[in-house]
Amino acid sequence: MPVEPSKPVLRVILGDQLSSRLPVLADADKASDVILMAEVMAEATYVRHHVKKIAFLFSAMRHFAQALDAAGFTVRYVRLDDADNSQSLEGEIQRAVGDLSPARVIVTEPGEWRLREQFEALRFALPVPLDILPDTRFLCSHQAFAAWAEGRRELRMEYFYRQMRRDHGLLIEADGSPSGGRWNFDKDNRQPPSKHMTFPRRVSFRKDQITLDVLDLVRRRFADGFGTLEPFHFAVTRRQALRELDHFIDHILPAFGDHQDAMVAGEPYLNHSLLSAYINAGLLYPLEVCQKAEAAYRQGRAPLNAAEGFIRQILGWREYVRGIYWRFMPDYARRNVLAAHEPLPWMYWSGETRMACMREAFAHTIEHAYSHHIQRLMITGNFALIAGLDPAAVHEWYLAVYADAYEWVELPNTLGMALHADGGLLASKPYAASGNYIRRMSHYCQGCVYDPAVAVGENACPFNALYWDFMDRHRDRFAGNARMPFVYTTWDRMGDDRQAQVRSQARQHLAAMREGRL
C-alpha cells in the first residue's frame, strides 16, 4: 500500500519575527512543512505608518524569506501586489490552510494585543488547530515577569533590572556583586551637550534589487504615507544589522553614556545606537547585543557607565515595558488618569511649528522615522503631557511614525513614561519639564523665536507657562510626590497675580496651538 505523505505544518512568521532561532522554526520538517509570510494592507495601514517603516519591514521580510529558501525551507511568500492577496493576516492563513490542508498551524505570539485577539478568534474559524508559541527572543517570559511582579506594592524598573542582571549574569562579578560595585551609573550619564562631543559616521548600505523593488512598491502604494522614503539606508538583513551593531560597539558605545540625555541641533543620532528597529524586527537578538556591550567593557574598550547604561535600556527598560504591556492590557490602552482630552495638533504630522525644539524632533521623525529617546520623552512627549493632549491620539502618533514602533514597546513608553496616563504605574513621577530643562540639555533655544527664560509675554517659551499650568491643574495628585520637591513652593511664591498671568498665557499658547500658530 502506498504510504500517505504526512500533512505539512503551516508555520507563520510575522513581519517583526525575522529571527531564525524562533521555536516556530525549531522542529520544522524542511521536506514537508511550509513557512507563511505575507505583506498585507491590514498591517500596513492600521495606523498611518511612516513609509520608511513599511519599506524597511517589507525589504527585511523579503530578504528573510530568501534566506529561509536558501536554507532549504519551503516558503509561501505573499507580496502586497499579488492578485489573490486577501490583505489580512487571518485571510492569508485561511487561504493557505485551504490550499495546503496542513495538519496544524503554528505562530509565534504577536507583539500586539489586537493581533493576538485576532489569532485567538481565528482558532474557531480554522478547520485545524492553531497554536500560539511563546516569543523566546525576549529575556523575560510572561511567567517570569508575573512571578517578579506578584505581591509587590509597586513595580519599579530598577528592581526588575537588578533581578534581570542576576538572572542573565550580565555585568555581575564572580562574588555576585554588580560590576563597579553599583547597579546603576545613570548619575554619570546626564551631562549637557559639550563642544567636545563627536559623532562618528554611521554605516550605510547599498540598496540591492529587493530593496529597490520595495521602495518602488511603497512609493506607488503609499503615496499619501507619512514621512520621506528616501534616502533609505536601513540594514535589511541580519548580516547588515550585525555590521551596524559591531560599528556601534567599536566606535560609538564608548561615548554612549556621558551625554545620553543631551540634544544637539542638527544631530539626529548623537551617540545612540539606532538598533531598536533591528532588535524589534528580529534581525538582532537582545541578549547578543547586551553581551557584546559587556565584552567591550571587560576588554577595556568601553567605560562601565556606557556599557551599563546601554545594557540597562535593553535588559531593563525594554523587557520591563513589555512585561507591563502584557500584564495590564487591554485596560492599559484606555487609561487617562490626568483626563487629558486635547486633540493632537496638526504640527505633529506636518512638522510645522515655531518652537525650534519641536521642529527639530519632528524633522528627524519625518526624515528618518527616528528620533532619539530624549527627543521622544522630553520634547514631543513632554509637550503632549503639559499641553494635555489626548493619550490615545498621542499613542497612535508614536505607533505610526517610528521604524521601531510596535504596541508592546510603544504604548507603555507613551502612555506610562511620557504622559503619566497610567497614574504612575510605570514611572513614579511625570517627566514634565519647562523650557529651562531644554535650554540646559540642548542647543535648540539658541535658534528659537521663543525665549526659554521668559514665562509670560510675547516671546515666552510655551514650555514655561504650560509646565506651570500643568502642575497647577494636577496639584492634588502631585503635591505629595517626594520626587518633586520645591515645585509647589516655587509656584506658591509667584503669588496670585503672577499665577493668573501664567494661566492666561498657557490658555493663549493652547489657542495658538489649535490654530497652528505656535
376 binds, among ligand SF4, ligand DLZ, ligand FAD, none (CB under 5 to 8 A by kind): ligand FAD
Q: Determine if 463 is a binding residue for ligand SF4 (CB under 6 A).
A: yes
Question: Could you give the angle at the alpha carbon of 75 between the alpha carbons of 70 and 80, nearest 5°?
Answer: 115
280 binds, among ligand DLZ, ligand FAD, ligand SF4, none (CB under 5 to 8 A by kind): ligand FAD
Number of shown-chain residues binding ligand SF4 (CB under 6 A): 14
Q: Determine if 400 is a binding residue for ligand DLZ (CB under 6 A).
A: no
Nearest to 384 by CA among 454, 310, 467: 467
CA distance 132 to 484: 44
Using CB under 6 A as the binding rule, the residues of this chain from 329 to 368 that contact ligand SF4 are 355-357
Q: Which residues pair with 132 in a beta bridge?
A: 107
Helix 113-125 / helix 89-100 crossing angle, nearest 10 deg: 30
38 binds, among ligand DLZ, ligand FAD, ligand SF4, none (CB under 5 to 8 A by kind): ligand DLZ
How many helices (H) and strands (E) the chain has is answered by: 24, 5
**DSSP helix/strand/coil, 486:** coil
Contacts for 518 with CB less than 8 Å, ≥ 6 apart: 345, 347, 353, 354, 355, 462, 509, 512
As a dihedral over the C-alpha atoms of residue 374, residue 378, residue 380, residue 386, rounded to 10 degrees, the angle is 170
**DSSP helix/strand/coil, 282:** coil
Q: Determine if 64 is a binding residue for ligand DLZ (CB under 6 A).
A: no
Give, as one character, the DSSP assignment of residue 226: B
Q: Determine if 383 is a binding residue for ligand SF4 (CB under 6 A).
A: no
Number of C-beta neighbours around residue 1 at 10 A: 3
Q: Which of 444, 467, 468, 470 is in the footprint of ligand SF4 by CB under 6 A? A: 444
Cβ closer to ligand FAD: 50 or 439? 50
**DSSP helix/strand/coil, 84:** coil
Cβ closer to ligand SF4: 249 or 518? 518
Q: Determine if 38 is a binding residue for ligand DLZ (CB under 6 A).
A: yes
Nearest to 199 by CA among 248, 139, 157: 248
Q: Do 85 and 40 touch, CB atoms closer than 8 A?
A: yes
Q: Which stretch binds ligand DLZ (CB under 6 A): 25-33, 106-114, 304-312, 419-427?
A: 106-114
Contacts for 277 with CB less than 8 Å, ≥ 6 apart: 53, 56, 234, 369, 370, 402, 403, 404
CA distance 518 to 508: 10
Q: Determine if 157 is a binding residue for ligand FAD (CB under 6 A).
A: no
Number of shown-chain residues binding ligand DLZ (CB under 6 A): 17
Residue 277 Cβ, how far from ligand FAD at the closest point, in Å? 7
Taking only Cα atoms into account, the Rg of the chain, rounded to an integer number of angstroms, comes to 24
Q: Determine if 111 is a binding residue for ligand DLZ (CB under 6 A).
A: yes
Q: Determine if 44 is a binding residue for ligand DLZ (CB under 6 A).
A: yes
Q: Determine if 452 is a binding residue for ligand SF4 (CB under 6 A).
A: yes
Q: Which of 22, 57, 378, 417 is in the footprint of ligand DLZ by CB under 6 A? A: 57
Q: Do 350 and 382 touch, CB atoms closer than 8 A?
A: no
The total number of residues written for the chain in this structure: 518
Cβ closer to ligand DLZ: 183 or 226? 226
SS3 content of the chain, % helix, strand, coil (to 5): 50, 5, 40
Q: Which residues pair with 226 in a beta bridge?
A: 50
Cβ closer to ligand DLZ: 320 or 463? 320
Q: Which of 405, 426, 460, 510 is in the footprint of ligand FAD by CB under 6 A? A: 405
Q: Determine if 469 is a binding residue for ligand DLZ (CB under 6 A).
A: no
Q: Determine if 275 is a binding residue for ligand FAD (CB under 6 A).
A: yes
Helix 51-70 / helix 209-221 crossing angle, nearest 10 deg: 140
Binding mask 272-311 for ligand DLZ (x = CB under 6 A): ----------------------------------------
Span between the terminal Cα atoms of the chain, in Å: 80
Residue spans of alpha helices (H) in 209-259: 209-221, 238-247
Q: Determine if 115 is a binding residue for ligand DLZ (CB under 6 A).
A: yes
Q: Do 265 and 359 touch, CB atoms closer than 8 A?
A: no
Q: Which of 8, 10, 11, 15 is in the footprint of ligand DLZ by CB under 6 A? A: 15
CA distance 54 to 465: 38
Using CB under 6 A as the binding rule, the residues of this chain from 365 to 384 that contact ligand FAD are 372-373, 376-377, 381
Using CB under 6 A as the binding rule, the residues of this chain from 222 to 261 that contact ligand SF4 are none
509 binds, among ligand DLZ, ligand FAD, ligand SF4, none (CB under 5 to 8 A by kind): none
Residue 222 Cβ, how far from ligand DLZ at the closest point, in Å? 10
CA distance 38 to 349: 28
Residue 16 Cβ, how far from ligand FAD at the closest point, in Å? 11
112 binds, among ligand DLZ, ligand FAD, ligand SF4, none (CB under 5 to 8 A by kind): ligand DLZ
Residue 492 Cβ, how far from ligand DLZ at the closest point, in Å? 47
- The site for ligand SF4 (CB under 6 A) is made up of 355-357, 435, 438-439, 444-445, 448, 450, 452, 461-463
- The site for ligand DLZ (CB under 6 A) is made up of 14-16, 38-40, 43-44, 49, 54, 57, 89, 110-112, 115, 406
- The site for ligand FAD (CB under 6 A) is made up of 272-276, 279-280, 310, 313-314, 317-318, 321, 372-373, 376-377, 381, 398, 402, 404-405, 409-410, 413-414, 417-418
